[in-house]
Each structure stands twice: as structure tokens, then as C-alpha cells.
Structure 1
Amino acid sequence: MMFGVNSKILDEIVCILSKDTNVESAYIFGSRARGDFKEYSDIDIAVFIEDPNKRNMIAVDINEINCIYKFDIVIIKESTSRELLDNIKKDGVKIYQRPF
């Protein structure tokens, strides 16, 4: 159970990410990545996309996963704060990388 999350849930997340050709990579960050999460801590996911102007349904699709967890999906854009990017860089664990 990686990040305290059932592997089936992680597989569903990766499946959703891999179906969107605009997704470059994704990271779990925050308490789940650091390992200091509580039983019902949310799952923070940073999603790097190729074209931030393209309509994106990633957050909607992931939040439709039937599970006990809440998701906090952050679509990374140029306007994303430096502090948040630093946290993702420091704590983030890559869960998806688009094949080249």
C-alpha cells in the first residue's frame, strides 16, 4: 500500500492520467508523499500538462473514483506559486510520466 492508498486506487489514477495526451507527468505530494498522513488525509496530486489553456477534465475524472479518499488536484501552470512548486520538488513522488 503505497502512500497509505490501495494500489487499485493508484492504478485508476494512473489510468486516467495516461488517457489524456495533454498530461506530461504527475506527482503525489504533501503528507501522503512525506509519509506523515493520517487515515483520512486527502491525496494531493500535481499534474503537469503540455497546454494549460486546453480544457482539462483530469480533476473531475479523478474525483469520480469511488473510494474513501478526497483528492486535491493541482494543475500546474505558469502562475503556480514558487512555494507550491518547491514543495512538489522537495516531497513529490512521480506516479506518471508520459512516454516519449
Structure 2
Amino acid sequence: MISLFEEYGVKFAYLFGSRAKGDRPPSSDVDLAVYLGESEPGRRFDKKLSLISRLGVIVKKDVDVVVLNDVRNNFLLAEIIRKGKVIFNCAPDERFAFAVAKQHEVTDFITHFHHVATGTNFSKN
């Protein structure tokens, strides 16, 4: 799997979901989140589809791949970063910077969501 990640320009990857938690029901798929070095969104999508196919052959399970570069769901990002297991990391500094930046975004989002939901406003006048 490492050589496949290197071939596709994966900078780091997480295993997340039920398998990261240790649950391994026979029917469960494998959830992977990858950060790609590719800057073009269309090419990232093509790589995602190809990775799903090739990884499925390797692990002999259905595989779901999330491209971290493109994730906008803050709750999913938080789940992956906090509870996922790093399974590949050829760019530790980049992974650290990504995780810190996304944690800040998630915290800001949750704070904003709380203010909207409760009708509170902590801005200084």
C-alpha cells in the first residue's frame, strides 16, 4: 500500500471509521482519508477514483477514499483528525500544519454554530 500511496503523490493518510475504532464487522468497508500533493481538483478526483479501485483489490474489501484537500465538512474533518489513525506520513510537517489549521477551523465553526444556535453574541461593542 505504501508504494501505491507514493505513486499517487499521497502526502499522508488516515484510517478512520469503524476499522480505526477496532470494529471489524465482516461487511464493513475500509475508510481512508488521503492528502494529495496534486493541486488540480479534477486530477485529485481522478486519483481518488483510481485509488478506490486499486486499494479495493489490495485489501479485498470495499474502500471509501476521502481526499482531505477537498473536504469542507468540519465534523468529518474533526472525526478523521482526532480519531483516525495515521497509516502513511511522508510529510510530517505538512500533516501537522494541516491538522492544526483544520482544528482551528473546526473550533471556530463550532463556536459560531453555538452562538447561532443559542442566540448569544460575544462580540465586543
The TM-score normalised by the length of structure 1 is 0.71
Specify every segment of 5 or more residues in structure 2 that has no aligned partner in the other structure, as ranges.
93-125
Name the amino acid aligned to 1:60.
S
Percent identity (aligned): 28
User: 2:36 pairs with 49, 58, 65, which one?
Assistant: 49
| Higher normalized helix content (fraction of residues) | 2
How far apart are the structure 2 equivalents of 1:40 and 1:14?
Answer: 24
| Higher normalized strand content (fraction of residues) | 1
How far apart are the structure 1 equivalents of 2:70 and 2:51?
Answer: 23
Q: Does the C-alpha gap of structure 1 residues 52 and 40 become closer, same or farther in structure 2, counting only changes over 3 Å?
A: farther
1:69 and 2:61 matched: yes
User: 1:95 pairs with 62, 87, 93, which one?
Assistant: 87
Identify the structure with bigger relative contact order (alpha carbons < 8 Å, sequence gap 6+).
Answer: 1
Asked which structure has the greater CA Rg, the reply is 2
Specify every segment of 5 or more residues in structure 1 that has no aligned partner in the other structure, as ranges.
1-12
How far apart are the structure 2 equivalents of 1:87 and 1:95?
Answer: 15
Runs of 4+ residues over 3 Å off in structure 1: none
The TM-score normalised by the length of structure 2 is 0.59
Q: Name the structure 2 match of 1:40.
A: 27
